[in-house]
C-alpha cells in the first residue's frame, strides 16, 4: 500500500453516526471536542460559517462545499459568528441514525454529515498527521464526497444486510477523497505530513520507508530515494514533516508495532524482529520513547480498553 493508505488502514473506522441538519433564522451552535472522532459534512443548500479551535479564521461554507474535521477539535457552526453559541447538546444526538435535526426555524440551510470513531492506542498520533480541517470548494471535485456522505446517511437510516461493511468502506472513501483534494487544492510549498507524502522528492522516500519498514534505513539511502543531497533532504524533511527522517522511521515502526500488539497475539520478540530489531531490549526502549509505555504495558492497556 501507499503511505496514506497505510496510515488510514491503522485507524480502523467504527461507530458510525449520520444525520442531517436543517437551520433557519439566526443561529449558532457550539460542538465539543470529541477525540478519536472524524466528521465529514456536505452543504446541500444555504450557507454558514465554520470555526474550528486552533484554526485562526472562520471559514465561509456555501452550497456544494464539503468539509472534513479529522482531529475531533471543538468547532462552531453559525449563520453569524457574532451570535452567542448554544451547546450542541440542545439538538444532538439525533433521535435515530440518519434523522434530520432542526435548528431554530429551519428552511434556509441544510447540511448532511457522517461521523465515525477510530480505534487504537496509536490513533491520536495517526490523526495528528492529518490537517485540522479539510475544505473542498471545487465543484468538479465535490460530487464523489457528497455522494459518500449522503449514501452513509441512507445506509444508517435504512439498515440492510451488509450495511456496516458499506459504512466502513464509505468512511475510508470519504477521508481519502477529502485528503487527496486537500493536497490538490492547496498546492505545493505547504508543511505537514500529508504534503510531504505528495511531494515529488519526499514522497518516494516516505513510500520506501512504508514499503519496507524493517530495512536498515540510513539518511544517505533515503536521500538517494529523494534524489537529493543528504543535507538538503534532511532539511526539507524536517521543515515539512516536523521531524528528522530517522525519527520518522522509528515512529512508523512503533505505530506498526502498536497495531500488532493490539490486534495480534504475536510475542514482543517476533514483532521486534519483524521490524528490523535484532535486540528486543533495543526495540522496547524505542517503543517506550515513542509510545509512552513498554510494549507489554501497551498490550495490557489495549486489552483492558477492549474489555
Q: Which three cell numbers stand for residue 99?
A: 434523522
Domain boundaries, the chain: 3-186, 194-306
From CA 240, how far away is CA 202, in angstroms rounded?
Answer: 9
pLDDT by position in tens, the chain (length 307): 788 888 878 887 776 777 889 999 999 999 999 888 888 888 989 999 999 999 999 999 998 888 889 888 999 999 999 999 999 999 988 887 778 899 988 889 999 888 888 876 677 777 887 888 888 876 666 677 778 778 877 776 777 888 777 877 777 787 788 777 777 776 655 778 888 998 999 999 999 999 999 999 999 999 999 999 999 999 999 999 999 999 999 999 999 999 999 889 999 999 999 999 999 999 999 999 999 999 999 988 877 665 5
Residue 185: HSE in the Cβ half-sphere, 13 Å Cα cutoff:
17
How, if at all, do strands 59-61 and 48-52 pair? antiparallel
List CB contacts of 278: < 8 A, sequence separation 6 or more.
none
HSE-CB of 73 using CA atoms within 13 angstroms: 19
Q: Do the domains spanning 3-186 and 194-306 agree at the CATH topology level?
A: no
Backbone phi, psi, residue 100, to 5° = -105, 125
SS3 call for 212: coil
Stated pTM of the model:
0.77
Cα–chain center distance at 171? 11
Instruction: Name residues whose C-beta falls within 8 Å of residue 48's C-beta, 6 or more positions apart in sequence.
Output: 23, 61, 77, 78, 79, 109, 111
CA–CA dist 162, 255 (Å, integer) = 30
Has domain 194-306 been given CATH number 1.10.10.60?
A: yes
Residue 132 phi/psi, 5-degree rounding, is -70, -25
Partners of residue 31 on adjacent β-strands: 75
Rg of the Cα atoms in the chain: 21
CA angle 45-155-163, nearest 5°?
155
pLDDT of the residue at 120: 66
Residue 265, SS3? coil
CATH classification of 3-186, choosing from 3.40.50.300, 3.40.50.11610, 2.60.120.280, 2.40.110.10? 2.60.120.280
**pLDDT reported for residue 306:** 58
What is residue 122's DSSP assignment? T
Cis (ω within 30 of 0) for the bond into 93?
yes
Amino acid at each position: 500500500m501507499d503511505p496514506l493508505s497505510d496510515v488510514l488502514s491503522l485507524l480502523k473506522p467504527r461507530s458510525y453516526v449520520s444525520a442531517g441538519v436543517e437551520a433557519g433564522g439566526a443561529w449558532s451552535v457550539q460542538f465539543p471536542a470529541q477525540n478519536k472522532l472524524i466528521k465529514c459534512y456536505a452543504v446541500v443548500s444555504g450557507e454558514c460559517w465554520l470555526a474550528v479551535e486552533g484554526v485562526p479564521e472562520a471559514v465561509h461554507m456555501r452550497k456544494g462545499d464539503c468539509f472534513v474535521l479529522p482531529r475531533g477539535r471543538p468547532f462552531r457552526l453559525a449563520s453569524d459568528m457574532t451570535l452567542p453559541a448554544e451547546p450542541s447538546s440542545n439538538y444532538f444526538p439525533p433521535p435515530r441514525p440518519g434523522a434530520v435535526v432542526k435548528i431554530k426555524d429551519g428552511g434556509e440551510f441544510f447540511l448532511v454529515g457522517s461521523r465515525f470513531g477510530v480505534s487504537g492506542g496509536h490513533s491520536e498520533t495517526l490523526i495528528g498527521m492529518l490537517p485540522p480541517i479539510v475544505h473542498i470548494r471545487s465543484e468538479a471535485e465535490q460530487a464523489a464526497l457528497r455522494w459518500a456522505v449522503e449514501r452513509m446517511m441512507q445506509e444508517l437510516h435504512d439498515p440492510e444486510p451488509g450495511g456496516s461493511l458499506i459504512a466502513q468502506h464509505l468512511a475510508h472513501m470519504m477521508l481519502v477523497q477529502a485528503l487527496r483534494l486537500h493536497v490538490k487544492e492547496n498546492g505545493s510549498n505547504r508543511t505537514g505530513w500529508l504534503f510531504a507524502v505528495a511531494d515529488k522528492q519526499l514522497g518516494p522516500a516516505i513510500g520506501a520507508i512504508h514499503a519496507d519498514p524493517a530495512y536498515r534505513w540510513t539518511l544517505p539511502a533515503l536521500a538517494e530515494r529523494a534524489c537529493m543531497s543528504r543535507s538538503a533532504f534532511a532539511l526539507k524533511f524536517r521543515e515539512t514533516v516536523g521531524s528528522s527522517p530517522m525519527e520518522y522511521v522509528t515512529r512508523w515502526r512503533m505505530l506498526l508495532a502498536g497495531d500488532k500488539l493490539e490486534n495480534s497475539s504475536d510475542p514482543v520478540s517476533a514483532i521486534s524482529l519483524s521490524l528490523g530489531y535484532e535486540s528486543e531490549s533495543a526495540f522496547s526502549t524505542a517503543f517506550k520513547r515513542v509510545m509512552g509505555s513498554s510494549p507489554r504495558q501497551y498490550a495490557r492497556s489495549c486489552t483492558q480498553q477492549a474489555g
